[in-house]
């Protein structure tokens, strides 16, 4: 904090008031509502409700469809995180190596950041459209009996591909700036100590990028959990048979489409706990970073 | 033209650090006061309390006759020059200098005049429309001064304003600050740990140690008549020569050395004898045999460092002395010089309390 | 020497493949959008632009019923701009004020209020969708700009960013300003805001993109077609294509994706340096 601060009674409250009020009304209150509703069971017409303790949790979380969604979310997040990080790291390392055309590569690799997930979703969806999509035809032509409307693996493939495509540029930006942040003298020293560029990368560069990588992992997991909603909603919508349902997509489906308020709220609360866990991990890491 | 009065000022930081432990001081109108002391002794804290940037834990500060303990910094009518200048980086030199006046609601024409005058006085008139990052260190320093000057405050406060400049510029600015202060005749308080700055700038010098004032007075008085061992060793460059001794009734004794010419000293206590390097002289009947280690040639004079034969500190090491002499005195290394001193002008301190005994 | 050349070539090859992977889909989307529906249905996706560019985009942007049931592309464009700009500006204002209070003032509730702001990180919209909808509906804010933008701007990211930045501003600046008689508001307006100019620009750009790309919230907040943003339009056209009809208007769907992509991409490209700086700094 600052050595010298203003001491006023009212002014600081005035300054934080807008944000705090909005948070109270649109964040804390709805969150509390979600928690409260997760313990209620409404009758079929939404006229009366009854306090049922953890029944909603038991009903939804131990249901096959929720477990299926949870399983898919975890596998999906792991694959998307790994692939988009690996691809971005490869591109960043290469872009950092070249001298000619470096800024052109940089620009053309990062601009996809600005594309909204549902837009990416629709584009991808059309590429895989059985009527016009060349990707669809291409995959079938090379002997893959591809049909993402019926085959759950193929559907997962489409969703992963689009999600990775959308996420590579963010990771690329961070990796590249991480690489550029490594002091030139360190690179020069390592060049004198180690002849093999590959070995240099894994023993010097990659460890120095570890903080960035860890941070990006958290970001990417969060992305795969939450922001891919827009992609799924414009591609498979959970089809076939719920095989590509993520947890967030299911909350939305059950709450808005299915009008199962209690069940949807219970799922929300479980998601809150997951976010909490992710945040704790992230802060652990930030604390550690301070010691470097 | 204002006087500043501190009575029993105390500062304890929230973390428990006692930075200032009861300071009393009366600063006359137009006086130039310098605070010196080792790092962490509380100089900056004291200055910042006068500025109002730090709350006063206890005691009172008056400017003229007004108690200003709870007056906001803006209303104290003081101006400060910071070590890192703290110029507003996005404003031009003119903007920096006029900001305080604008906030006081001064009409624009008057501000312009004051800024132009001050800029001329500081020879930064050509840079008025530049931003701080387009100026050299010395020019930035002048802008910081200019920002203080235009305000025509009751008190100028300086916190090590020259320590970011190179040696040559520092001397130049030192003279300029003194000249400006004479000309404007504004009460000024100046924090430094540079010996020479302190000696040359101050009307009166306050030596601060561990949150308290050790001694305050004209620089030359502090040099000639330090009241404590701390002041004696802090003021004066090269440092005063110190020799641990005891008194046997007639002589000050250390090892084989027996120094005559002293009386009326306690003979049970551990004492310290202090002799300034320029009080020593070559003297065949002298009492200090000095074995020459190093000769530093500073130009007009030479400093000769060496061990006093026969004198020990805790019975182990030879005591090292410094002898200041003229430039043509160039003894061979490892030769031995015999030095004498004037007992009248030598200082004796109580080793435990640090008090001056004579 | 020869080996070194190979290395360089492989490096460029990898980069070029990467660039194609990232860019080709968008190019194909654009090229296809300039062909007629019949042509696309017969020949699939197109790699080279066709002759229907003007016709398709005219239909999408200006013709009633050209793409949605009634809303024009230009209206959706306008709604997207309002959301993007409103979100960015609102977020910068709100978070600068809050960060200023937290960093520069000593007040009793500073710590608890900081934690309240922090809590927003734990509560992304996705975990409180339905109650949030109920609150907005209860306040009568459905289908309004206020209801769309205000709830989005309160999350902590911007506040944290400015808090971090303000803490890096040298203490002496505030001290000098106080001696110069600056009030709390004066210091903010005369010194802190001008000092933060680049930071503000960077955040504005990032937040414009984030706001423009909002999906879930506008989806549940808007019920009337005239309030659709382009990104919501995407969802609708998906619906229309999925329901099927006589002749699927693929070229219009592609045109819509291009329209929804172009403004944020342009902003990012034009202000690339600020954007990258803001993005990387904000995560520190
Ligand atoms: N904001 C603070 N919080 C706690 N303790 C402080 C703070 N500022 C200073 N101190 C402590 O108070 C004592 C005096 O500090 P001050 O800055 O006044 O020293 P100084 O004499 O100016 O030293 P220097 O010559 O190094 O600038 C030091 O021990 C310091 O650690
Ligand atoms: Mg200091």
The structural domain count of chain A equals: 1
The residue among B237, B348, B333 whose CA lies nearest residue B290 is: B333
The residue among B20, B45, B337 whose CA lies nearest residue B189 is: B45
Residue C158 pLDDT greater than 80, yes or no? yes
Helices A134-141 & A117-127, crossing angle to 10 degrees? Answer: 50
Element of type H or E holding B13: none
Residue A271 lies in a domain: yes
Percentage of residues of chain A with pLDDT beyond 90 = 15
Neighbours of A79 (CB within 10 A): 17
Question: Residues B270, B213: one domain?
Answer: no
- Chain B partners within 8 Å of C182 (Cβ): 74, 99, 103
Question: Residues B201, B246: one domain?
Answer: no
pLDDT for the residue numbered B191? 95
Q: What's the pLDDT tens digit per position in B324-349?
A: 998 888 888 889 999 998 888 899 99
Question: Residues B172, B40: one domain?
Answer: yes
Q: What is the largest CA-CA distance in chain A?
A: 76
- Tell me the ligand closest to B42's alpha carbon: 1
| Domains defined along chain C, listed by start | 2-282 (1.10.3720.10)
Cβ-Cβ pairs closer than 8 A, A with C, add up to: 286
Residue B104 lies in a domain: yes
Question: Residues B223, B305: one domain?
Answer: no
Comparing alpha-carbon positions, the chain C residue that sits nearest to B90 is: C195
**Contacts with C127 (C-beta within 8 Å, 6 or more apart), sequence order:** A31, A34, A251, A268, A269, A271, A272, A275
Residue B57 pLDDT greater than 90, yes or no? yes
Residue A39 lies in a domain: no
B45 lines ligand 1 (CB under 6 A): yes
The answer, for A215 touching chain C at a CB cutoff of 8 Å, is: yes
Instruction: Identify whether A240 is preceded by a cis peptide bond (ω within 30 of 0).
Output: yes
Among the residue ranges A108-122, B271-285, B337-351, C236-250, the one predicted with the least confidence is C236-250
The answer, for C148 touching chain A at a CB cutoff of 8 Å, is: no
Local confidence band at A258 (pLDDT 50, 70, 90 cut-offs): low
Long-range interactions of C234-238: CB distance < 8 A, separation 24+: C234/A116, C234/A118, C234/A119, C234/A121, C234/A122, C234/A234, C234/C260, C235/A118, C235/A233, C235/A234, C236/C68, C237/A122, C237/C67, C237/C68, C238/A122, C238/A125, C238/A234
The structural domain count of chain B equals: 2
Question: Residues B62, B206: one domain?
Answer: yes
C-beta separation of C130 from A35 below 8 A: no
pLDDT for the residue numbered C87? 94
Residue closest via CA to ligand 1's atom 12 equals B19
B192 lines ligand 1 (CB under 6 A): no
Comparing alpha-carbon positions, the chain A residue that sits nearest to C220 is: A256
Distance in Å, CA B40 to ligand 2 centroid: 7
How many angstroms separate the CA atoms of A292 and C169, rounded? Answer: 22
Residue C202 pLDDT greater than 80, yes or no? yes
For chain B, which chains pass the contact test of at least 3 CB pairs under 8 Å?
A, C
The domain that contains A157 carries what CATH number? 1.10.3720.10
Question: Residues B254, B225: one domain?
Answer: no
Name the average pLDDT for chain B: 89
The domain that contains B62 carries what CATH number? 3.40.50.300
How many angstroms separate the CA atoms of B96 and B130, rounded? Answer: 10
What number of CA atoms fall less than 13 Å from residue B123's CA on the CB side? 5
Give the domain range for residue B268: 239-350
Q: State which of A143-157, B18-32, C24-38 shows the largest mean pLDDT.
A: B18-32
**Contacts with A108 (C-beta within 8 Å, 6 or more apart), sequence order:** C19, C22, C23
Residue B234 lies in a domain: no
Neighbours of B262 (CB within 10 A): 20
Token pair in block for residue A128: 């895989």
Residue A290 pLDDT greater than 50, yes or no? no
Q: Rounded mean pLDDT of C156-160?
A: 85
Q: Bigger pLDDT: B222 or A291? A: B222
- Chain B partners within 8 Å of C181 (Cβ): 74-75, 100, 103-104
pLDDT for the residue numbered B47? 93
Distance in Å, CA B43 to ligand 1 centroid: 8
Instruction: Classify burial at A66, counting beta carbons within 10 Å of its beta carbon; exposed 0-12, middle 13-18, buried 19 or more.
Output: buried
Cα separation of the two ends of chain A? 21
Under the phi-then-psi rule, with left for phi > 0, alpha for psi from -120 to 50, and beta for the rest, what region is C106? beta
Q: Does residue B102 sit in helix, strand or coil?
A: helix
Chain A residues 7-66 within an 8 A CB cutoff of chain C: 7-9, 11-13, 15-16, 18-20, 22-31, 33-34, 37
As beta bridge partners, residue B157 has B80, B189
**Contacts with C17 (C-beta within 8 Å, 6 or more apart), sequence order:** none
Kindly determine whether residue A19 and residue C109, on different chains, have CB atoms separated by under 8 Å. no
- Encode C132-153: b = buried (16+ Cβ within 10 Å), e = exposed: bbebbeeeebbeeeebbbbbbb
Distance in Å, CA B191 to ligand 2 centroid: 8
Question: Residues B129, B214: one domain?
Answer: yes
C-beta separation of C94 from C154 below 8 A: yes
Residue A149 pLDDT greater than 90, yes or no? no
pLDDT for the residue numbered C154? 80
How many angstroms separate the CA atoms of C244 and C250, rounded? Answer: 11
As beta bridge partners, residue B305 has B294, B322
Percentage of residues of chain C with pLDDT beyond 70 = 96
Residue B50 pLDDT greater than 90, yes or no? yes
- Encode B176-197: b = buried (16+ Cβ within 10 Å), e = exposed: bbbebbeeeebbbbbbbbbeeb
Q: What DSSP line would sit under A168-210, residue for residue?
A: HHHHHHHHHHHHHTS-HHHHHHHHHH---HHHHIIIIIHHHTH
Neighbours of A170 (CB within 10 A): 19
How many angstroms separate the CA atoms of C213 and C218, rounded? Answer: 10
Local confidence band at B201 (pLDDT 50, 70, 90 cut-offs): very high
Residue B120 lies in a domain: yes
pLDDT for the residue numbered B187? 94
β-strand B204-209 against B212-217: which pairing, if any? antiparallel
Distance in Å, CA A3 to ligand 1 centroid: 11
How many angstroms separate the CA atoms of B272 and B59, rounded? Answer: 35
Distance in Å, CA B44 to ligand 2 centroid: 4
**Contacts with C172 (C-beta within 8 Å, 6 or more apart), sequence order:** B82, B84, B85, B86
At residue C217's C-alpha, the angle toward residues C211 and C218, to 5°, is 75
Residue A64 pLDDT greater than 70, yes or no? yes
Ranges of H-type helices in chain B: 43-51, 93-103, 108-122, 137-150, 167-184, 195-201, 219-224, 229-234
Number of the ligand 1 atom closest to the C-alpha atom of B15 = 4
Local confidence band at A292 (pLDDT 50, 70, 90 cut-offs): very low
Residue B220 pLDDT greater than 90, yes or no? yes
Query: How many angstroms away from the CA of A121 is the closest CA of chain C?
Result: 9
Instruction: Identify whether B179 is preceded by a cis peptide bond (ω within 30 of 0).
Output: no
Question: Residues B185, B280: one domain?
Answer: no
How many angstroms separate the CA atoms of B224 and B236, rounded? Answer: 9
Closest to A4 (Cβ–Cβ): which among C41, C126, C171?
C171
C-beta separation of C220 from C133 below 8 A: yes
Residue A291 pLDDT greater than 50, yes or no? no
Distance in Å, CA B11 to ligand 2 centroid: 14
How many angstroms separate the CA atoms of B292 and B199, rounded? Answer: 30
β-strand B204-209 against B66-67: which pairing, if any? unpaired
Radius of gyration of chain B (CA): 24
- Could you give the C-alpha distances from A28 to C121, C153, C226, in angstroms and in order? 11, 14, 30
The answer, for B86 touching chain A at a CB cutoff of 8 Å, is: no
Residue closest via CA to ligand 1's atom 19 equals B40
Kindly determine whether residue A229 and residue C126, on different chains, have CB atoms separated by under 8 Å. yes
Closest to C180 (Cβ–Cβ): which among B84, B90, B99?
B99
Residue A135 lies in a domain: yes
Question: Residues B46, B136: one domain?
Answer: yes
pLDDT for the residue numbered B269? 86
Q: Bigger pLDDT: B60 or A251? A: B60
Question: Residues B76, B207: one domain?
Answer: yes
pLDDT for the residue numbered B283? 87
Local confidence band at C106 (pLDDT 50, 70, 90 cut-offs): confident
Q: Rounded mean pLDDT of C125-153?
A: 85
Residue A43 pLDDT greater than 70, yes or no? no
Residue B285 lies in a domain: yes
Residue A117 lies in a domain: yes
Local confidence band at C1 (pLDDT 50, 70, 90 cut-offs): very low
Q: Can you give the length of chain A in residues? A: 292
Local confidence band at C128 (pLDDT 50, 70, 90 cut-offs): confident
Q: Does residue B38 sit in helix, strand or coil?
A: coil
Q: Rounded mean pLDDT of A271-283?
A: 81
Q: What DSSP line would sit under C95-129, residue for residue?
A: HHHHHHHHHHB--TTHHHHHHHHHHGGG--GGGSH
Local confidence band at A182 (pLDDT 50, 70, 90 cut-offs): confident
Residue B355 lies in a domain: no
Q: Rounded mean pLDDT of A154-167?
A: 91
Listed residues B209, B229, B249: the one ending a domain: B229
Residue C3 pLDDT greater than 60, yes or no? no
Residue A286 pLDDT greater than 70, yes or no? no
Among the residue ranges B303-307, C60-64, C264-268, the one predicted with the least confidence is C60-64
Residue B81 lies in a domain: yes
**Contacts with B343 (C-beta within 8 Å, 6 or more apart), sequence order:** B259, B260, B261, B262
Element of type H or E holding C269: helix C250-270
Q: State which of B247-261, C56-70, C205-219 shows the largest mean pLDDT.
A: C205-219
Residue A179 pLDDT greater than 80, yes or no? yes
Q: Which of B12, B40, B80 to mutate to test the pocket of ligand 1 (most atoms within 8 A of CB)?
A: B40
C-beta separation of B323 from B339 below 8 A: yes
For chain A, which chains pass the contact test of at least 3 CB pairs under 8 Å?
B, C
- Could you give the C-alpha distances from B93 to B90, B96, B119, C53, in angstroms and in order? 10, 5, 9, 55
Q: What's the pLDDT tens digit per position in B104-119?
A: 888 999 999 999 999 9
Query: How many angstroms away from the CA of B205 is the closest CA of chain C?
Result: 25
The answer, for B52 touching chain C at a CB cutoff of 8 Å, is: yes
Distance in Å, CA B160 to ligand 2 centroid: 7
The residue among B156, B316, B299 whose CA lies nearest residue B307 is: B316
- Encode B204-237: b = buried (16+ Cβ within 10 Å), e = exposed: bbbbbbebebbbbbebeebbeebbbbbbbbbbbe
**Contacts with C194 (C-beta within 8 Å, 6 or more apart), sequence order:** B90, B91
Residue C4 pLDDT greater than 80, yes or no? no
pLDDT for the residue numbered B304? 92
Kindly determine whether residue C176 and residue B147, on different chains, have CB atoms separated by under 8 Å. yes
**Contacts with C3 (C-beta within 8 Å, 6 or more apart), sequence order:** none
Question: Residues B221, B251: one domain?
Answer: no
- Tell me the ligand closest to B46's alpha carbon: 1
B13 lines ligand 1 (CB under 6 A): yes
The answer, for A6 touching chain C at a CB cutoff of 8 Å, is: yes
Give the domain range for residue A173: 60-291
pLDDT for the residue numbered B5? 94
The residue among B50, C187, B105, B136 whose CA lies nearest residue B144 is: B136
C-beta separation of C143 from C221 below 8 A: yes
Q: What DSSP line would sit under B302-332, residue for residue?
A: EEEEEEEEEEEETTTEEEEEEEEEETT--PP
Cβ-Cβ pairs closer than 8 A, B with C, add up to: 63
Residue closest via CA to ligand 1's atom 8 equals B45
Residue entry with tokens 């100089």: B43
Q: Rounded mean pLDDT of A66-86?
A: 91
- Chain C partners within 8 Å of A35 (Cβ): none
Question: Residues B81, B34: one domain?
Answer: yes
Residue A259 pLDDT greater than 70, yes or no? no
The residue among B218, B268, B234, B274 whose CA lies nearest residue B248 is: B268
């Amino acid at each position: 904090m600052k050595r010298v601060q203003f001491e006023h009674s009212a002014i600081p409250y005035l300054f934080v008031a807008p944000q705090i009020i909005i948070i109270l009304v649109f964040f804390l209150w709805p969150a509390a509502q979600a928690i409260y509703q997760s313990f209620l069971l409404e009758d079929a017409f939404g006229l009366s409700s009854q306090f049922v303790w953890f029944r909603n949790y038991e009903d939804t979380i131990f249901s096959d469809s929720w477990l299926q969604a949870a399983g898919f979310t975890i596998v999906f997040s792991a694959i998307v995180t790994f692939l988009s990080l690996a691809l971005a790291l490869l591109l960043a390392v290469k872009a950092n190596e070249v001298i000619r055309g470096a800024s052109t590569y940089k620009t053309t690799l990062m601009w996809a950041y600005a594309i909204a997930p549902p837009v990416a979703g629709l584009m991808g969806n059309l590429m895989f459209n059985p009527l016009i999509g060349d990707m669809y035809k291409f995959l079938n032509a090379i002997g893959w009996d591809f049909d993402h409307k019926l085959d759950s693996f193929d559907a997962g493939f489409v969703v992963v591909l689009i999600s990775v495509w959308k996420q590579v540029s963010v990771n690329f930006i961070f990796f590249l700036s991480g690489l550029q942040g490594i002091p030139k003298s360190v690179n020069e020293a390592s060049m004198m100590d180690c002849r093999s560029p590959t070995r240099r990368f894994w023993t010097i560069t990659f460890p120095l990028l570890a903080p960035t990588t860890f941070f990006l992992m958290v970001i990417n997991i969060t992305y795969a959990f939450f922001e891919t909603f827009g992609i799924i909603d414009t591609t498979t919508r959970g089809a076939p048979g719920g095989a590509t349902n993520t947890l967030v997509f299911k909350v939305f489906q059950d709450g808005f489409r299915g009008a199962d308020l209690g069940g949807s709220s219970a799922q929300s609360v479980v998601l809150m706990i997951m976010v909490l866990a992710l945040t704790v991990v992230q802060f652990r890491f930030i604390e550690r970073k301070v010691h470097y | 033209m204002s006087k500043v009065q501190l009575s029993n000022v105390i500062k304890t930081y929230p973390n428990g650090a006692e930075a200032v432990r009861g300071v009393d001081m009366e600063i006359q109108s137009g006086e130039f006061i310098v605070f010196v002391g080792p790092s962490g002794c509380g100089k900056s804290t004291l200055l910042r309390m006068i500025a109002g940037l730090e709350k006063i834990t206890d005691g009172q500060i008056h400017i003229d006759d007004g108690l200003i303990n709870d007056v906001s910094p803006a209303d104290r009518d003081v101006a400060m020059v910071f070590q890192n200048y703290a110029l507003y980086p996005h404003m031009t030199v003119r903007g920096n200098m006029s900001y305080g006046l604008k906030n006081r609601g001064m009409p624009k024409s008057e501000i312009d005049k004051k800024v132009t005058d001050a800029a001329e006085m500081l020879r930064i008139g050509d840079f008025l429309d530049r931003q701080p990052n387009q100026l050299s260190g010395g020019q930035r320093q002048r802008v910081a001064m200019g920002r203080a000057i235009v305000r025509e405050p009751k008190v100028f406060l300086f916190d090590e304003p020259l320590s970011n400049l190179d040696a040559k510029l520092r001397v130049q600015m030192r003279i300029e600050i003194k000249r400006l202060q004479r000309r404007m005749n504004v009460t000024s308080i100046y924090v430094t740990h540079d010996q020479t700055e302190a000696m040359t700038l101050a009307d009166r010098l306050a030596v601060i140690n561990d949150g308290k004032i050790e001694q305050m007075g004209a620089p030359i008085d502090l040099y000639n008549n330090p009241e404590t061992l701390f002041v004696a060793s802090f003021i004066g460059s090269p440092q005063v020569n110190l020799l641990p001794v005891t008194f046997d009734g007639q002589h000050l004794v250390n090892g084989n050395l027996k120094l005559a010419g002293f009386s009326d000293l306690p003979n049970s206590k551990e004492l310290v004898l202090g002799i300034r390097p320029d009080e020593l002289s070559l003297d065949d009947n002298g009492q200090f045999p000095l074995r020459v280690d190093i000769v530093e040639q500073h130009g007009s004079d030479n400093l000769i460092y060496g061990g006093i034969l026969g004198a020990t500190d805790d019975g182990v090491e030879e005591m090292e002395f410094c002898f200041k002499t003229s430039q043509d005195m160039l003894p061979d290394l490892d030769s031995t010089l015999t030095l004498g001193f004037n007992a009248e002008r030598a200082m004796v301190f109580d080793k435990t309390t640090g008090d001056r005994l004579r | 020497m020869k080996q070194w050349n190979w290395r360089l070539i492989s490096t460029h090859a990898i980069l070029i493949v990467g660039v194609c992977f990232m860019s080709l889909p968008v190019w194909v989307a654009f090229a296809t959008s300039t062909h007629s529906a019949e042509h696309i249905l017969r020949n699939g996706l197109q790699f080279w632009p066709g002759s229907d560019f003007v016709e398709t985009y005219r239909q999408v942007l200006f013709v009633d019923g050209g793409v949605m049931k009634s809303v024009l592309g230009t209206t959706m464009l306008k709604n997207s701009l309002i959301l993007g700009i409103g979100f960015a500006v609102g977020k910068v204002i709100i978070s600068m004020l809050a960060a200023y209070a937290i960093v520069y003032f000593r007040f009793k509730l500073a710590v608890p209020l900081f934690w309240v702001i922090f809590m927003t990180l734990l509560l992304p919209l996705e975990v409180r969708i339905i109650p949030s909808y109920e609150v907005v509906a209860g306040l009568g804010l459905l289908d309004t700009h206020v209801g769309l933008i205000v709830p989005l701007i309160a999350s902590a990211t911007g506040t944290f960013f400015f808090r971090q930045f303000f803490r890096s501003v040298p203490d002496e600046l505030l001290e000098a300003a106080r001696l110069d008689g600056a009030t709390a508001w004066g210091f903010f307006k005369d010194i802190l805001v001008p000092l933060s100019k680049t930071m503000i620009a960077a955040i504005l750009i990032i937040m414009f993109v984030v706001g423009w790309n909002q999906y879930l919230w506008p989806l549940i907040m808007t019920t009337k077609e005239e309030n659709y943003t382009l990104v919501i339009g995407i969802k609708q056209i998906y619906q229309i294509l999925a329901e099927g009809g006589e002749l699927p208007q693929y070229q219009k769907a592609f045109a819509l994706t291009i329209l929804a992509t172009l403004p944020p991409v342009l902003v990012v490209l034009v202000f690339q340096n600020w954007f990258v700086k803001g993005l990387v700094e904000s995560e520190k």
